[in-house]
Structure formats: structure tokens, C-alpha cells
Amino acid sequence: MNRRKFLQNSFVGSIGASWLALGNVSKSLGQTTSSSLGKHEPFKGVFPIMQTPYLEDDSIDFESMSRQVDFAAKGGAGGMVWPQLASEFYVLTDEERMKTAELMVNKANGRLPMIVGVQSTNYWKASLKLAKHAQSIGADGIISLPPYTSRAEVEVAADYYRALAREVDLPIFIQNSGGNYGPAMPTEKIIELAKEYPSIAYIKEESKPVTHRIGAMVEQGEGILRGVFSGGWGSTLLNELRRGCVGTMPGSSIVDVYAKIIDLFLDDKREEAQEIFDKVVSLVRFKGNFSIAMEKEILTRRGVFRNTRMRIAPYKITWDEIDQEEFEVLFNNLKPHFSV
């Protein structure tokens, strides 16, 4: 089974059926208990966290954002997500978030699902407003960090997701990042919420040890969750796929390469998948030194963005000749695998 069929498969039997067809490599998520699924569900594959491009006056560059939607669709994305941490949601106004989400839904035009980020510190009313707006414009789902200021406790986070589930009918992704971004919710609590509110159906798991937590979520979520996704720029993607992860949410700049890795994995071409994945991980490690601006550098090089501008420091990449030389090597190593 190749990636295209994997993404297009109807939801029959279990979400993990396509993985099980490959042998004993990964675990099934089991059959969902939900009686209804959206037109794009179940969500699978590469769901890039879309970057936010800016013009020189710091306004959002809607033309570049439109190109990014096309870029993701042509690159084999299973869906797209905006705005999250890598999208700089924390420096966007609510009006900017709503207007840009509308543009993205319209630009996608049914080609791939749009998942809208609705988190907003600990002020739930703002998040509920954003969630209702996402539903009104035809978004396919919402994703949210838990309340992440004032050291919110797990039960506070649980009440927040319950409030979202009561407010909208869309599938909900819990982004379980931990650290500075809310409490790392225990697997048992997430399963409890999914049983209570079936629309809380997907997880983006990023808490450490992430691969083991994904495995536990898949195992304990059998018959309850519709899918477990990962983040972390896809740095442990092959390990996660072997544990039953159904998708990943990296940046958008090399969405086609991540899609190719999944394609090869599903075609049981593990050595080739590993070879390309190793090149990706080398770039991801280098990228960590330069924040989100490096993601925008790649998008600029690939003709999607005009610049690497950010609204927070560092406003642009600051690197020396050695950094430049290393980037060129890592970027050129991946060029043969670009398809867009």
C-alpha cells in the first residue's frame, strides 16, 4: 500500500488496518466508537504546521500564505494545521487568525483538511470564540494546547477541552506538549476525556519520552481514539510509525520529503526510508539553532515565501560563513527528494 492509498482509504474496520498489512511492525488503533466521521476523516499522514509569512510592514503576507497551501497540497500533505507554536500564534491578533483561517479554508477548496489552532493563554472565552469561528468557516477540525500560563493543573486542562467539545461539533486534537505549554496530560486522563466526549478524538503527542507515550496512547486508545499524531519536527518519525502513530505535524518547508518517507515506509522500503530520514534529522538538528526563521529560509529558497521575517526576535537568521556552508550541504542533500 502506498501513501496515496493510505491517505485515501475509507474508515473500515480499524484505523490501523493499513499498518497491520505490513506485518507486525506497528499496532492498530482499533475501531472507533464514533458513529460519524467528517468527510476527510480519519486524519492520516503529514499535517504540516503552516508558517506565517509577513510583509516588510509586519502585516501578514496573504499571497505567500496562499502559495504555502498549494505547496502543501502538491507535496502530498494529508492536511494542514494553523496557527500553532511554529506559526507564531502568540503574536497574531484574533482578527488576523480568523481572516487567515478563512483564506486557507477557501484556498484548500476541499483538497486537504484544515485544522485550526484555537489556544489562547488561559482565557477560555477567546479560544471558544476561535473554535466557533473555525466551525462556521468549514474547518475540518480544531487543535489546541491546554491553558499554558499560571501553571494550570491537569484537571483545569481537562475542563478546558470539555468546554471546547461542548462548544463545537468538530474533531478536536489535544496538543500534549508539556513544559512551558501547559501540563503534560497523562494518557489515562486523555482516554477518559475521549470516552466522555468522542469528538476529542486525536492527539498530537510531544511530551517526553514521546515515542513511549505514543505507544501507550495507541495501545490504551484502541477503540476510543481515531488517531495519534506526533510533532517535534518529525525527528523520531520512523520510531513513531512503528508504534502505530498515524501521522506527524512537522513544519511545512519539506512536507514532500516527509510524505516520501511515509510512502517508502508503507511500501516496506525501510532502508531507503531510513536513508532519507537520516538526512532530514541532520537538517532538523541544524534548524534548532535558528528557530522558526530557518523554516522560513527553506520556504523562501523553494519559492513559497518572499522572506524569513518574524515578529519576534530573532527577526531574521543570524549566521556566519560556517553556518551558511553547513546549511548548503544539508539542504542540497535533500534536494533530490523534493517533488514540488
What structural domains and CATH numbers belong to the chain? 3-272 (3.20.20.70)
What value does the mean pLDDT take over residues 188-210?
Answer: 95
The gap between the terminal CA atoms of the chain, to the nearest Å, is 22
pLDDT of the residue at 38: 65
pLDDT of 2 over the 60 cut: no
pLDDT of the residue at 23: 32
Residue burial 320-340, b: 16+ Cβ < 10 Å; e: rest: eeeeeeebeebbeebeebeeb
144: which strand partners? Answer: 174
Q: Of 266 and 41, which is predicted with more confidence?
A: 266
Mean pLDDT of the chain: 88
Local confidence band at 5 (pLDDT 50, 70, 90 cut-offs): very low
pLDDT of 19 over the 80 cut: no
pLDDT of the residue at 288: 84
On whether the CB atoms of residues 226 and 44 are closer than 8 A, the answer is: no
Look up the pTM and report it.
Answer: 0.89
CA 332, CA 80: separation in Å to the nearest integer?
25
The pLDDT tens digits of the residues spanning 44-91 come to: 999 999 999 999 999 999 999 999 999 999 999 999 999 999 999 999
Burial class of residue 26, CB neighbours in 10 A (0-12, 13-18, 19+): buried
The neighbour count for residue 104, using CB atoms within 10 Å, is 24
Backbone angles phi, psi at 338, to 5 degrees: -75, 140
What value does the mean pLDDT take over residues 134-151?
Answer: 93
Residue labelled with grid coordinates 527553506: 298
Can you tell me whether residue 53 is helix, strand or coil?
coil
Burial class of residue 12, CB neighbours in 10 A (0-12, 13-18, 19+): exposed
CA 331, CA 326: separation in Å to the nearest integer?
9
pLDDT of 104 over the 60 cut: yes
Burial class of residue 86, CB neighbours in 10 A (0-12, 13-18, 19+): buried
Which residue, among 142, 139, 116, has the nearest Cα to 202 in the 3D structure?
142
Listing DSSP states for 190-232 in one string gives HHHHHHH-TTEEEEEE-SSSHHHHHHHHHHHTTTT-SEEEE-G
Backbone angles phi, psi at 156, to 5 degrees: -65, -45
What string of H, E and C letters represents the secondary structure of 63-129? HHHHHHHHHHHHCCCCCEEECCHHHCHHHCCHHHHHHHHHHHHHHHCCCCCEEEECCECECHHHHHH
Residue burial 211-245, b: 16+ Cβ < 10 Å; e: rest: bebbbbbbbebbebbbbbbbbbbbbbbbbbbbbbb
186 preceded by cis ω (within 30°)?
Answer: no
The neighbour count for residue 111, using CB atoms within 10 Å, is 16
% of the chain surpassing 90 pLDDT: 76
Least confident of 23-32, 54-63, 224-233, 321-330: 23-32
